[in-house]
Amino acid sequence: MKKILITGGAGFIGAHVVKHFVKEYSEHQIINLDCLTYAAEPKNIVDIESFDNYKFLKININNAEDVDDVFKKYDITHVIHLAAESHVDRSIDNSIDFALTNVIGTVNLLNAAKNNWIGKRDHLFYHISTDEVYGSLGLNGSFKETTKYDPKSPYSASKASSDHFVRSYFNTHNLPVVISNCSNNYGPYQNEEKFIPTVIKSLIERRPIPIYGKGKNIRDWLYVNDHVLAIEKIFNNGRVGETYNIGGGYEISNLDLVYKIIEMYVDLYPNDFNYNNLISFVDDRKGHDFRYSIDSSKIRSELDWSPKMKFEEGIKRTINWFKK
């Protein structure tokens, strides 16, 4: 039996990952560790509370002693590390929380794994990161696993640092690790501070839709369930010591994305209101990266993964979830 510790399992992506693993791997014990910050939503995982192979622990990864106790008490054999401060805007004004959770918290987990896995085999520390560690692109090119790190925001700097610490423990301590860097996720459960939920909630409540600058910044969007399936592939078959980029393959500017969401919203909930009038341009974010684009050819060829969700269908499901 694997004892799989999933950190941040009450957050957006984490909740989807935890529920998938609990339901699909009944032979393994799933321990969900989350300190329940503002970005967590316990009601999203309430339906798995009765499963025999599931346990929730309210613990902060910044507490090294508590983290080490979890590894000892539950004999953790595998880690899927998602817990992180993730909102770029918040990192600009409050960098210390990002350094503590994303860097120190990750090192606490690495130390617990290193100290408790001595002489043991068939263990894995899977660290989940972001494409933002690579910096910003112009109109051409895509991020590859070999792209030089060039983080621009305190958030991406903290994630880049955590990535480097994970690799250093592989090289220095021979800790079995794997890393993935994903593009922007969207879907049900996402916190309302993120862009797509902000747009949808603004439509529902008919309030201004804030768009940074002129809305020309471009992102690659990945439906959260496609990300979960990629995580599963990497967890089961990824090569130790390797990095895998995960992208949705759907690039669109922020302004065009808003127009598309409005169009889909009106298709789903027809009325005569002119939602385009809600668009409101605001001062651009400091150090706003222009474009992200992921080259997912490695995970596609090595692990036979590709995104299945069409963007339009994924947005419709997301709209309906927020509307409900």
pLDDT in tens, 99-117: 999 999 999 999 999 999 9
From the candidates 155, 169, 244, 265, give the one annotated as an active-site residue: 155
pLDDT tens digits, one per residue of 213-271: 999 999 999 999 999 999 999 999 999 999 999 999 999 999 999 999 999 999 999 99
Give the pLDDT of residue 213. Answer: 96
- Per residue, the 3-state secondary structure of the chain, as one string, reads CCEEEEECCCCHHHHHHHHHHHHHCCCCEEEEECCCCCCCCHHHHHHHCCCCCEEEECCCCCCHHHHHHHHHHHCCCEEEECCCCCCHHHHHHCHHHHHHHHHHHHHHHHHHHHHHCCCCCCCEEEEEEEHHHHCCECCCCCECCCCCCCCCCHHHHHHHHHHHHHHHHHHHHCCCEEEEEECEEECCCCCCCCHHHHHHHHHHHCCCEEEECCCCCEEEEEEHHHHHHHHHHHHHHCCCCCEEEECCCCEEEHHHHHHHHHHHHHHHCCCCCCHHHHEEEECCCCCCCCECCECCHHHHHHHCCCCCCCHHHHHHHHHHHHHC
pLDDT over threshold 90, residue 119: no
From the candidates 34, 85, 126, 132, give the one annotated as an active-site residue: 132
From the candidates 34, 85, 131, 145, give the one annotated as an active-site residue: 131
Ordered by where they begin, the domains of the chain are 3-187+222-249+291-309 (3.40.50.720)
Is 155 among the residues known to form the active site? yes
Give the mean pLDDT of 191-206. Answer: 96
